[in-house]
Amino acid sequence: MSYLLQIDSSSRGADSISRQVAQSFLDAWDGEVVHRDLAVEPVPHLTEAGISARVTDPAEHTSEQAAAVAVQEELIEEFLGASAYLFTVPMYNWTMPSVFKAWLDQIMVKGRTLHFTGNGPATAGRPALLVSARGGGFGPGTRNHGMDFVVPVLEAVLGNTHTLGLDLTTVTPELTHAPVVQRMAHFLPLHEASLADAHEQARLHAEKFKQQVIA
């Protein structure tokens, strides 16, 4: 069994609902974990040097390009070396935290993680769990329906066979503002049910992932 790559992006530390649900997964996982906390140690945003270095002969790299490539290669090797993935990406202002987008921009490189011909990406079919907590409700019939720009985007980026190709499952504990926002107090039972289900799904997927990785 190779390692599980855990990528956290919430700025709320131990108070993060996404991280708490992820802990239920980790409690049921008994393999090696490589952990990268983007809120504590954010990766740099993609720069012109990082982009141009991808299409420039390494022998001709400037010092800025060489430094940018070194960052990319560290993150890509870490990503490719995993056999399973755990992402905590809460909703911030209807989309993902910028630190997670910066990480994606660094690892998505043609010929390394993206392959548009042949057998597709090297990570195709590897199991991944995305935990994305959100303060409100975003399902059909809610006023926020259609305003989730986290899960649909990440399902396309992480789970599409034309991109990273992971076998992605998403868990979305909702209405996390209910315990702290008075006008949402009547949603508290729905929040508690959503949170309990998220923890249970995280545990179940840890067991499922172990079997997939072993197989």
Write the pLDDT tens digit of every residue in 151-183: 999 999 999 988 999 999 999 999 999 999 999
The predicted-structure confidence for 57-83, as pLDDT tens digits, reads as follows 999 999 999 999 999 999 999 999 999
- The type of residue at 30 is D
* Domain 3-214, architecture per CATH: 3-Layer(aba) Sandwich (3.40)
Q: CA-to-CA distance for 157 and 85, rounded, in angstroms? A: 14
The gap from C-alpha 205 to its chain's centroid, in whole angstroms, comes to 15
57 burial level (CB within 10 Å; 0-12, 13-18, 19+): exposed
161 token code pair: 């066979």
Q: Please give the model's pTM, rounded to 2 decimal places.
A: 0.94
